[in-house]
């Protein structure tokens, strides 16, 4: 007879945290969000830790080398997507490892068809006076010119003057080529008395900007996740098929940690993959995804350094609909965290957990941490930012970015071009979608982190470990959910627009 769980499968939305006593030293500034990334023995330190509990999803629409650098600068980690050829994935890892602080993705971008008014509006919005003019208005589009505060006079120029009459065109720009070092970029800045040096690739696409004032950008990024050589820590996704070719190439490119990317990690293929990596390489590896104690045990006993939790909770997921497998993300995490704690008691080895998928609100991150996750993995959240690899598109009056699942046909098409890969899909497990464009990672992450820290202070906890110890969590009823939102009032338009 089948086994029946007595508890239903629950999601983060069904839980709330209760405040504890907040002491006076418990302020957001004092909260430390560092967290283990790899397993460690009681009393020892993990070999790898994160400075903030965030990782970006192993997805084409989320984690390339640009995202890896941007997130590592904030203190988190990206796992560069594996649904591409071994060579191109290794190149992305190599590029991310090769970046040095000081190169920034442009945050203010317009097209030549915009006007002076758009420039001024954007300046008001972002505070940046340097605007990159690209063909499609994106941070990585073909660079056509640069506008700085010295290119226009508000008193003389009409507000509808087109950008292409204001900008310094590409033909007159001093620029650096992708791959140059920070000190070479700084030499160009000094030699030509520039405030800003654009870095472009061989196709004239904008890669980065280097600013005179950012010499020591490490000062601006105190939480940067760096290795002993001051390169960013970088992760990469692998699969259970071509790992004997892929892993050596990724290790050679300098990857710090791998994760097996699968909807269902409770398999002999994952055990063999973990064992192969552990026997042959000096690199860390996470495995998953699992949703119960049995899956957790199996992968930990196979040698995994962290375990990823979650089946079917992702925003673009349709696995539960297509295959009928999965579990509410909160229920999955609660059970696996219990298994992790039991394992720790038994062996003295602490195995970090990553809660993957289904994070919609910032407080869901705090809940996941309180329920025992050491860090979270997000796709939709990061796909919305300038730094994600996908196209920014205007629909109606709003900008959106493309976001598609790794189980969608769109993501899996790459395999057709791979020798030995399978062609096409029998059925899709993910959708192709848009998400609202949300600006730069840094600004959004700062806001998310301040919410998490503020909630942690309500709980009276200055660290994630303390949060996990102290948290008191309650299930909410359907009617109390209504009570939790604005209710019984007529909202003004400005409040309806707010998140």
Ligand X SMILES: O=c1[nH]c(=O)c2[nH+]cn([C@@H]3O[C@H](COP(=O)(O)O)[C@@H](O)[C@H]3O)c2[nH]1
Q: Tell me the catalytic residues.
A: 317, 416
The token pair that represents 215 in the structure block: 């010499």
Distance CA 260, CA 93 (A): 16
**266 is in the binding site of which of K ion, ligand NAI, ligand X, none (Cβ under 5 to 8 A by kind)?**
K ion
CA distance linking residue 309 with residue 128, whole number of Å? 40
Nearest distance in Å: CB 169, ligand X: 40
**Integer Cα distance of 43 and 45 in angstroms:** 7
Q: What is the DSSP string of 273-326?
A: HHHHHHHH-S-EEEEEEE-SHHHHHHHHHHT-SEEEE-SS-STTB-HHHHH---
- 379 interface partner picked from ligand X, ligand NAI, K ion, none, CB below 5 to 8 A per type: ligand X
User: Beta-carbon neighbour count of residue 223 at 10 Å?
Assistant: 16
Q: Which residues contact 367 (CB under 8 A, 6 or more apart)?
A: 12, 15, 17, 330, 473
Nearer to ligand X, 141 or 357 (CB): 357
> DSSP state, 143?
E
Q: Which two tokens stand for residue 51?
A: 């400075």
Among 68, 359, 467, 471, binds ligand X (CB under 6 A): 359
| CB 284, min distance to ligand NAI, A | 19
Selected from 14, 207, 214, 406, the binder of ligand NAI by CB under 6 A is 406
Q: Which residues contact 403 (CB under 8 A, 6 or more apart)?
A: 61, 62, 315, 316, 379, 380, 383, 384, 390, 433, 434, 435
CA distances, 303 to each of 41, 53, 330 (Å): 14, 22, 25
CA angle 65, 98, 204 (to 5 degrees): 65
Query: Within 53-197, where are the H helices?
Result: 65-74, 86-98, 116-126, 163-166, 182-191
Residue 356 interacts with ligand X (CB under 6 A)? Answer: yes
Shortest distance, position 83 Cβ to ligand X, whole Å: 9
Rounded to 5 degrees, what are φ and ψ at 145? 175, 180
To the question of whether residue 262 is assigned a binding role by annotation, the answer is yes
Look at residue 1 and give its three-state secondary structure.
coil
Distance of closest approach, residue 58 Cβ to ligand NAI, in angstroms: 6
Q: Which is nearer to ligand X, 214 or 387 (CB)?
A: 387
Residues 40-99 that bind ligand NAI (CB under 6 A): 58
Query: In this chain, which of 215, 269, 344, 399 binds ligand NAI, going by CB under 6 A?
Result: 269
Start-to-end Cα distance in the chain: 46
Whether 317 has a binding-site annotation, put simply, is: yes
Quick one: which segment of 238-246, 359-367, 380-388, 491-499 binds ligand NAI (CB under 6 A)?
238-246
Binding partner selected for residue 377 from ligand NAI, K ion, ligand X, none, CB under the kind-specific 5 to 8 Å limit: ligand X
Q: Does 59 bind ligand X (CB under 6 A)?
A: yes
Question: Is 319 among the residues that bind ligand X (CB under 6 A)?
Answer: yes
Residue closer to ligand X (CB basis): 283 or 318: 318
Of ligand NAI, K ion, ligand X, none, which one does residue 92 interact with (CB within 5 to 8 Å by kind)? none
Q: Where are the alpha helices (DSSP H) in 42-83?
A: 65-74
The answer to the question of residue 406 lying near ligand X (CB under 6 A) is yes
Residues within window 362-401 making contact with ligand X, judged by CB under 6 A: 377-381
Beta carbon of residue 381, minimum distance to ligand X (angstroms, whole number): 6
Q: Which two tokens stand for residue 216?
A: 């020591």
Write each residue from 275 to 294 as x if it is in contact with ligand NAI (CB under 6 A), else as -, in one continuous string. Answer: --------------x-----
Q: Is the Cα dihedral 77, 305, 412, 428 positive or negative?
A: negative
Among 102, 198, 314, 389, binds ligand NAI (CB under 6 A): 314
Q: Give the one entry of ligand X, K ion, ligand NAI, none that residue 269 binds, where binding means its C-beta sits below a cut-off of 5 to 8 angstroms depending on kind.
A: ligand NAI
Pick what 359 binds: ligand NAI, ligand X, K ion, none; C-beta below 5 to 8 Å, kind-dependent: ligand X
CA atoms within 13 A on the CB side of 8: 4
CB 17 within 8 A of CB 471: yes
The length of the chain in residues reads 499
Pick the binder of ligand NAI from 38, 138, 224, 319 (CB under 6 A).
319
Q: What is the DSSP letter of 58?
A: S
Count CB atoms within 10 A of the CB of residue 451.
15
- State which of positions 264-293 bind K ion (CB under 5 A): 264, 266-267
Task: Choose one: 8-16, 65-73, 308-316, 331-339; the region binding ligand NAI (CB under 6 A).
Answer: 308-316
Stretch that binds ligand NAI, among 62-70, 279-287, 309-317, 460-468 (CB under 6 A): 309-317
Please say whether the beta carbons of 223 and 75 come within 8 A.
yes
Question: Toward ligand NAI, which CB reaches closer, 264 or 362?
Answer: 264
Q: Which residues bind ligand X (CB under 6 A)?
A: 57, 59, 310, 312, 314-319, 356-359, 377-381, 405-408, 429-430
Q: Which residues bind ligand NAI (CB under 6 A)?
A: 58, 239-241, 261-264, 269, 289, 310-312, 314, 317, 319, 356-357, 406-407, 429-430
Binding residue ranges for NAD(+): 261-263, 310-312
């Amino acid at each position: 007879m089948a086994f029946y769980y007595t508890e239903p499968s629950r999601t983060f939305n069904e839980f709330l945290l209760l405040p504890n006593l907040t002491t006076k030293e418990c302020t957001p500034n004092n909260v430390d969000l560092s967290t283990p990334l790899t397993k460690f023995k009681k009393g020892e330190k993990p070999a790898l830790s994160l400075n903030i509990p965030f990782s970006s999803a192993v997805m084409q629409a989320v984690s390339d080398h640009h995202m890896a650098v941007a997130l590592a600068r904030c203190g988190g980690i990206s796992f560069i997507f594996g649904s591409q050829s071994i060579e191109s994935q290794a190149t992305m890892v190599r590029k991310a490892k090769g970046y040095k602080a000081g190169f920034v993705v442009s945050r203010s971008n317009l097209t030549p068809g915009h006007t002076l008014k758009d420039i001024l509006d954007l300046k008001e919005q972002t505070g940046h006076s340097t605007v990159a003019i690209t063909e499609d208005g994106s941070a990585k589009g073909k660079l056509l010119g640069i506008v700085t505060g010295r290119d226009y006079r508000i008193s003389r120029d009409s507000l509808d003057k087109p950008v292409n009459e204001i900008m310094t065109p590409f033909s007159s720009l001093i620029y650096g080529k992708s791959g140059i070092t920070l000190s070479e970029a700084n030499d160009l800045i000094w030699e030509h008395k520039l405030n800003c040096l654009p870095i472009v690739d061989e196709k004239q696409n904008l890669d980065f900007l280097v600013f005179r004032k950012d010499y020591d950008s490490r000062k601006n990024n105190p939480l940067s996740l760096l290795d002993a050589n001051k390169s960013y820590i970088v992760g990469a996704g692998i699969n259970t098929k071509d790992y004997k070719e892929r892993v050596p190439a990724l290790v050679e490119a300098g990857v710090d940690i791998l994760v097996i990317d699968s909807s269902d990690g409770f398999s002999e293929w994952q055990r063999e993959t973990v064992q192969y990596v552990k026997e042959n390489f000096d690199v860390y590896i996470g495995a998953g995804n699992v949703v119960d104690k049995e899956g957790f045990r199996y992968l930990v006993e196979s040698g995994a350094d962290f375990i990823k939790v979650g089946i079917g909770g992702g925003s673009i997921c349709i696995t539960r609909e297509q295959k009928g497998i999965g579990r509410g993300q909160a229920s999955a995490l609660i059970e696996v965290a219990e298994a992790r704690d039991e394992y720790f008691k038994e062996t003295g080895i602490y195995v970090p957990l990553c809660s993957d998928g289904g994070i919609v609100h910032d407080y869901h991150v705090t809940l996941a941490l309180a329920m025992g996750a050491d860090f979270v993995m997000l796709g939709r959240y990061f796909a919305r930012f300038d730094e994600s690899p996908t196209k920014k598109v205007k629909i109606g009056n709003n900008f959106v970015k493309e976001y598609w699942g790794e189980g969608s046909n769109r993501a899996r098409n790459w395999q057709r071009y791979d020798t030995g890969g399978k062609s096409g899909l029998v059925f899709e497990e993910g959708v192709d979608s848009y998400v609202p464009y949300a600006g730069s990672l840094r600004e959004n992450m700062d806001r998310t982190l301040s919410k998490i820290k503020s909630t942690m202070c309500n709980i009276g906890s200055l660290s994630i470990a303390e949060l996990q110890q102290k948290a008191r969590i309650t299930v909410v009823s359907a009617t109390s959910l209504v009570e939790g939102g604005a209710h019984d009032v007529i909202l003004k338009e400005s409040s309806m627009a707010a998140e």
